């Protein structure tokens, strides 16, 4: 069906045409159904809302509300009889509900746990909502002819699968969080902010030669011209006690006085 193909295009990542405003529905009004004017924009608006929601708990609640909108549309579609295209639309609504409730809900719970958030409260709201929806789906499916009932009753398995999906999502989120924390702890901590010791200046490429150290020069004192000059040899000659200057005097000979 042409409408279903266009809708699938939007669900797979299409964008809103520029200048087109989404259609708003009142809470008590009959919902727009596939094939109605504005239904494609309605689904596109839901995708925009989901993409803009950054809070993990808010995304889970939003996914659950969108799933419940598929149930509301299926209730408005009635029990038939349907044309072949109408029967395809009815089954498509059930499949969309199942995908949002199981894949979308579990995915948002896993992301929240992986972010380190406490998702216990939102998990309870999610499971309570799916359980409440199960009774409404049973009323819809039980009113269908046997052939149509067999084609749509798979949606009734959502309530039984949701708790398992929620627990698996929580476990996967915790495992991811554990690995991420271990990875961060393995990263070495930055050094403390303290000044580095001063580095010595780089050595020159061609250092100058070391200076040669020499002993200081000593000069002999100059003689004083005013002091008397003494001749050591002369003083020795004038010394009467030096017998070496009188060869005629020999020790052992008596000196005879001269007359």
120 shares a domain with 6: no
Residue 136 lies in a domain: yes
Residue 167 lies in a domain: yes
Domain end (from 141, 171, 186)? 186
Q: Do 56 and 115 meet the contact criterion of CB atoms below 8 Å apart?
A: yes
Residue 193: what pLDDT? 66
77 shares a domain with 45: no
Residue 176: what pLDDT? 95
Residue 124 lies in a domain: yes
Find the DSSP H helices in 53-157. Answer: 56-77, 84-98, 105-114, 120-142, 146-152
Q: Which two tokens stand for residue 137?
A: 């789906």
Residue 27: what pLDDT? 53
Residue 125 lies in a domain: yes
Chain-wide mean pLDDT for the chain?
Answer: 79
Residue 181 lies in a domain: yes
- Report, as an integer, the average pLDDT of 249-257: 52
132 shares a domain with 40: no
Task: Among 70-84, 145-159, 168-182, 236-250, name the one with the lowest average pLDDT.
Answer: 236-250
80 shares a domain with 44: no
139 shares a domain with 45: no
* pLDDT bucket at 117, cuts 50 / 70 / 90: very high
100 shares a domain with 11: no
35 shares a domain with 98: no
H helices then E strands: how many in the chain?
A: 9, 0
Residue 228 lies in a domain: no
Residue 144 lies in a domain: yes
- Report, as an integer, the average pLDDT of 63-89: 92
Residue 216: what pLDDT? 63
111 shares a domain with 140: yes
Residue 18 lies in a domain: yes
- Report, as an integer, the average pLDDT of 226-237: 56
Q: Do 168 and 106 meet the contact criterion of CB atoms below 8 Å apart?
A: yes
Residue 144: what pLDDT? 92
> For the chain, how many structural domains are there in total?
2
38-75: per-residue pLDDT in tens? 999 999 999 999 999 989 999 999 999 999 999 999 99
176 shares a domain with 65: yes
Q: The domain containing residue 46 runs over which residues?
A: 1-52
Residue 41: what pLDDT? 96
137-174: per-residue pLDDT in tens? 999 999 998 888 999 999 999 999 999 999 999 999 99
- Report, as an integer, the average pLDDT of 75-90: 89
d(CA 100, CA 48): 15
176 shares a domain with 74: yes
Domain end (from 186, 203, 237)? 186
166 shares a domain with 64: yes
Domain end (from 153, 168, 186)? 186
133 shares a domain with 104: yes
What are the CA-CA distances from residue 75 to residues 84, 99, 140, 155, 207 (Å)? 18, 18, 7, 13, 95
């Amino acid at each position: 069906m042409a409408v279903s193909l266009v809708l699938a295009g939007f669900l797979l990542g299409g964008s809103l045409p520029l200048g087109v405003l989404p259609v708003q529905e009142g809470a008590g009004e009959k919902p727009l159904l596939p094939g109605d004017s504005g239904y494609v924009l309605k689904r596109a608006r839901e995708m925009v809302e989901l993409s803009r929601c950054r809070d993990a708990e808010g995304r889970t609640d939003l996914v659950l509300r969108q799933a419940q909108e598929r149930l509301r549309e299926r209730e408005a579609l009635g029990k038939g009889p349907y044309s072949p295209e109408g029967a395809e639309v009815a089954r498509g609504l059930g499949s969309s509900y199942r995908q949002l409730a199981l894949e979308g809900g579990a995915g948002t719970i896993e992301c929240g746990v992986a972010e380190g958030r406490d998702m216990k409260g939102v998990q309870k709201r999610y499971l309570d909502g799916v359980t409440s929806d199960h009774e409404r789906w049973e009323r819809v499916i039980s009113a269908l002819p046997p052939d149509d009932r067999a084609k749509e009753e798979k949606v009734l398995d959502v309530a039984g699968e949701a708790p398992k999906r929620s627990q698996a999502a929580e476990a996967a989120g915790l495992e991811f969080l554990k690995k991420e924390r271990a990875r961060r702890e393995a990263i070495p901590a930055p050094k403390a902010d303290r000044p580095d010791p001063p580095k010595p200046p780089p050595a020159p490429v061609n250092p100058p030669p070391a200076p040669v150290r020499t002993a200081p020069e000593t000069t002999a004192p100059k003689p004083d011209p005013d002091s008397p000059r003494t001749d050591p040899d002369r003083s020795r000659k004038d010394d009467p006690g030096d017998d070496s200057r009188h060869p005629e005097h020999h020790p052992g000979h008596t000196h005879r006085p001269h007359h």
